[in-house]
């Protein structure tokens, strides 16, 4: 029962994350700003990881297939890249805001 509930929550999370990416892609000009690109990238990576997890849980045979392993490696390679970019953007914004505060005083 716990496994079934966990799998359903995983599926729900994947659907919501993928839904966010699709709706954000269609409705927001995310590519125009660094923050928009960053939000899109982070959500896309989260959706991709969750989607792969759903595939692996509901089609366990994929664990032994070469193409799935390669796809998984590619998706997981993007996670630290996106997180590093997000960290860089946060630091950049914090430094810029501090400089503004000093200038305004």
CA distance 53 to 17: 13
Q: What is the chain's Cα-based Rg?
A: 18
pLDDT tens, 74-100? 999 999 999 999 999 889 888 887 877
CA distance 39 to 87: 12
> Structural domain boundaries of the chain?
2-104
pLDDT tens, 60-70? 877 788 999 89
Sign of CA dihedral 87, 93, 94, 95: positive
| Confidence (pTM) | 0.83
């Amino acid at each position: 029962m716990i496994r079934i509930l966990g799998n359903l929550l995983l599926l729900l999370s994947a659907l919501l994350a993928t839904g966010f990416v699709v709706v954000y892609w269609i409705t927001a000009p995310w590519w125009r700003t660094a923050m928009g690109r960053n939000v899109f990238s982070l959500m896309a990576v989260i959706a991709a990881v969750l989607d792969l997890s759903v595939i692996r849980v509901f089609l366990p045979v994929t664990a032994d297939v070469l193409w799935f392993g390669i796809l998984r490696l590619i998706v997981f390679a993007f996670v630290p890249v996106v997180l590093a970019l997000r960290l860089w953007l946060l630091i950049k914004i914090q430094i810029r805001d501090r400089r503004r505060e000093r200038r305004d005083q």
